[in-house]
Amino acid sequence: MSPPRTPAEVSPPRIPATVLPARSTPLTRGLGLSALVTLGLTTWWGLWVSPPDVTQGQFVRMLYVHPAVATMCYAAFALCALGSLGWLWPRLRSPRWDRLAVAGAEVGAVFCLATLVTGSIWGRATWGVWWTWDARLTLTAILFALSLGYLALRRAIDNPHSRSMVSSMVAMLMVLTVVVDHYATQWWVTLHQNTTLFKPSPTIHGWQLVTMGMSFVAFGLLTAWLMVHRYRLEGLEERYDNEGLNAALAARRSEVAPAGSGGLRPAPGPQPVAPAPSRQGALSGPGAREVATR
């Protein structure tokens, strides 16, 4: 029978308690609040202040949702690609880049779905069809399928290194699709219109331009707020996993070496398991050296 292992042999690296803030901070609250205010302004201006369009009439109001949502979808996937590149770059490699990648992919997938839904509604109103296989729509559908594949991959691969490696490569494919999707209306003939805002002289003016600009600010702030929290959440989930391992090790340790711990010093947090009754005294057992080394 092998002797019980000492804590020094089984201890995982210590996870600092303050890796990331566990709650929102004044900065994130400010970001969320400004997103809410600008979304409110967009709604007000979009529905009541800005006038109808000569060609599209009231349907033009989708202009204050759909392009901004689609652009934020692209931006989130670009951040996902940035995080993946950072992780793939050997000198920069750190879990932070991977967190940025997963946050970008998840926020991007949500905005991609929102793009498809709002575009479909607008398409039914103006074109007369919910869907058609033109280059822009097809590539957006492919992008959404890729993003779901990316998220499924992250769930399927348990080894963190392989997970980050494989998903980084899918992220590169996604950002390539984003670039082709962006230029699709210029490279091929499409039912989808070409760009209105992002060109030297935008073909939109007055309240329509102001409201469309505000929609970009609003959805930009919303994206930033979602990204910050998703990034933070990913860090917390990593910590949760690691501390779960710590707790399991501590439980196992108390099984193999039942000795009193913390007798000299009250522990700051709740103990995972009730300390076994002391047989040898308070300064022996796993807890003793920890107290001694501080």
Partner 1 sequence: MSAAQAQAPAATQPAATQPEGAAAPPGAGSTGGEHIPFVHGPRRRRPLASKRQKVVAGAIVLAALSLLVFKGLTDAMNYYLTANQAVAQRAFLANKDFRIQGTVLDDVRQAGTALDFTIASHGVEVHVVSTGSPSALFKPGIPVVLAGHWQGDIFSSYQIMVQHGSNYVEAPAHHATAAGRPGAANPAGARRGS
**H-type alpha helices, 257-294:** 286-293
Tokens for 109, please give them: 């997938």
Cα–Cα distance measured from residue 293 to residue 158, given in angstroms and rounded to the nearest whole number: 35
Q: Binder to partner 1 among 88, 121, 134, 172 (CB under 8 A)?
A: 134
Residue 137 or 221: the one with the smaller Cβ distance to partner 1 is: 137
> Closest distance between partner 1 and the C-beta of residue 54, in Å?
4
In the Cβ-directed half-sphere of 107, how many Cα atoms lie within 13 Å? 33
Locus of tokens 């205010």? 37
Q: By CB under 8 A, is residue 264 in contact with partner 1?
A: yes
Which one, 93 or 289, has the nearer CB to partner 1?
289
Would you say 34 or 243 has its CB closer to partner 1? 243
Binding of residue 8 to partner 1 (CB under 8 A): yes
Q: Which token pair is 98?
A: 């991977």
Verify binding: residue 58, partner 1, rule CB under 8 A: yes
Residue whose C-alpha is closest to residue 153's, from 141, 139, 165, 140: 165
- Near partner 1 by CB under 8 A, which window of 23-31, 57-65, 80-88, 94-102? 57-65
Distance in Å, CB of 283 to partner 1, minimum:
4
Helices (H), 89-159: 95-126, 135-156
Q: Does the protein bind partner 1 through residue 120 (CB under 8 A)? A: no
In degrees and rounded to multiples of 5, residue 94 shows phi and psi of -160, 155
C-alpha dist (Å) from residue 113 to 116, 120, 140, 179: 5, 11, 9, 18
Q: Figure out which of the listed residues 127, 161, 183, 186 binds partner 1, where binding follows CB under 8 A.
A: 127
Please, which of residues 138-197 interact with partner 1 by CB under 8 A?
138-139, 141-142, 145-146, 148-149, 152, 155-158, 184, 188-191, 193-196
